[in-house]
Structure 1
Amino acid sequence: MKRRKILPPRDVKVPLWAWYRRDYKHVRPNFRWIRDSEIEVCMEINIPEEKVLLSDFEAWHFVLNDWYYSPATNEQEWERLEKKFDSLTERKQKQVKEKSWQRIFDTDIRHGKWTSNGETIQACFWMLEMSQVRKAWLLKKGEKVRKIYSVI
C-alpha cells in the first residue's frame, strides 16, 4: 500500500480488509454464504478510491503460497513459461516470482479457462470512519438478518 502511495494515518499500523466485488458483481453479498461466527456484522461502506488498494482474491493466493504467477493464456504457453522459470537460478526465480505478483492488482473482469480474472476482489485500506459507513446488517445464527444502521 505504501508503494502505491496509500499511506497510513499516524499511529495506524495494520490495514483493514473488505470485499469489493464477488461473483463479478459489486453488490451486497448473499448473507447465506459463509458464516464464520455466531454473530457477524456486514457493512456497506464508501471510501474514496485513492485510499483503497484493490487486488484479486484468487490471485492473492500466489503471494500467500510463494508461487510464481504465470501470465500464460493457454496450456502450451504455460508449459513454456514454467520450463523457462524452472531453468532460472534460485535468485532469479525469486525476482521473477515477486515481479509476477504485481499481476494481483489487475482487477479487470475477464472470463475463460486461462484468462479468468476479477471474480472476487478484495480491498485494503488504513482506516474506516463512521461517516463512511452507509448501512449495516446484523447476522445472528438462527435469526433473520436485520438492518441495524442506515444513513439513506
Structure 2
Amino acid sequence: MNRENNGDEKIRIWTRQDKRVLKELEEKGIYRVKEEYIIEKMDTISDYYIRLYDWYVKKAEKIISRPEGVTYPIWVSLTSETMLQPTEDTVILELEVPKKYVIITDSEKWGYVINYWYVPLNTEDERLHNEELKKYGIGNESALYTTDKGNFYPLLKNKIIKSWDRLFDDSLPSSGMSQGTIWEIRKEWVVDVLNR
C-alpha cells in the first residue's frame, strides 16, 4: 500500500501505549517495540501474536524499510474516532508523522490474517473458498494453519497463507476501515498525550 508517498506530506495518527513509553521517549528521544514488551502485554497468547508479527514484518519491510534495531511494528489508528481508548497505565499518543513512514492496511483484512483465514479477492471468491472448505469437511479453516490438519491439505494451507499478501494490496476492495503501523515513535512526532 501507499508506496508512492510524498516525503513532505504528514499524517495525524494515534497509538495507545504503556505509560512507560513516555519515559523512554523523554530519555532516548525514540521508542521501538521489543519482543519482551509483546510478551508482557499479551501474556499467554504472546506466541500467537509474535508468529503473526514475524510474518507481518517480513512483508511490511518490503514496503517501508525497517530501521536497524527495530524488531516489531507499532500499531496506530488513522482517526481519533477509531483510536483505541485509554486503559489503566496507558496513554494515547497523538502523533504527526511523515506519511512515508506509515504502512496503511485494511482492518478487516488484518482480522482475516489474525484469525488465520483466507483473505478473499471479493465476495464471490470468498463463497468459492467456503465451498471448497465444505467439500473437504473443514469447519474451522484456521486449523489448517494452527494444527497438523494443514499437513493433510497443504495446497489449501498455502492458498490461505498466500492470500494474506492481499493485506498490502490497496487495489482490492476495502472494508472502509483502515489502520496503520510505524516502525518507531520519535519524540518530535508527539503532538499531544492523552490520559497522562
Q: Which residue of 2 aligns with 1:71?
A: 121
- Superposed CA RMSD: 3.1
Q: Which residue of 1 aligns with 2:62?
A: 3
1:125 is aligned with what amino acid?
Answer: I
- SS in structure 2 of the partner of residue 46 of structure 1: strand
Q: Counterparts of 1:35-46 in structure 2 under 5 Å?
A: 35=85, 37-46=87-96
**Quick one: which of 70, 76, 82 aligns to 1:18?**
76
Q: Which residue of 1 aligns with 2:192?
A: 135
- Using structure 1 for the length normalisation, give the TM-score: 0.62
1:100 equivalent to 2:150? Answer no
Q: How big is each residue's C-alpha offset from its partner over 1:114-136, in whole Å with a ceiling of 9 and x where there is no partner? A: x66122x2211111111111222
Segments of 5+ residues of structure 1 without an aligned counterpart are 21-26, 109-114, 140-152
Q: How big is each residue's C-alpha offset from its partner over 1:74-117, in whole Å with a ceiling of 9 and x where there is no partner? A: 5xx64334324666972221222122222323568xxxxxx661
- SS in structure 1 of the partner of residue 92 of structure 2: strand
Q: 2: distance between equivalents of 1:66 and 1:138?
A: 34
Identity of aligned residues (%): 25
Q: 2: distance between equivalents of 1:59 and 1:30?
A: 16
Please say if residues 54 and 107 of structure 1, whose CA atoms lie closer than 8 Å, have aligned partners that are also in contact: no
More helix as a share of residues:
2
- Using structure 2 for the length normalisation, give the TM-score: 0.50
**Quick one: which of 111, 122, 133 aligns to 2:179?**
122
Please say if residues 107 and 118 of structure 1, whose CA atoms lie closer than 8 Å, have aligned partners that are also in contact: no
1:50 equivalent to 2:103? Answer no
Please say if residues 118 and 163 of structure 2, whose CA atoms lie closer than 8 Å, have aligned partners that are also in contact: yes
How much has 1:43 moved relative to structure 2?
A: 2.1
Segments of 5+ residues of structure 2 without an aligned counterpart are 1-59, 137-151
Q: Which residue of 2 aligns with 1:29?
A: 81
Please say if residues 72 and 81 of structure 1, whose CA atoms lie closer than 8 Å, have aligned partners that are also in contact: no
How much has 1:19 moved relative to structure 2?
A: 0.9
Aligned length: 122
Please say if residues 66 and 183 of structure 2, whose CA atoms lie closer than 8 Å, have aligned partners that are also in contact: yes
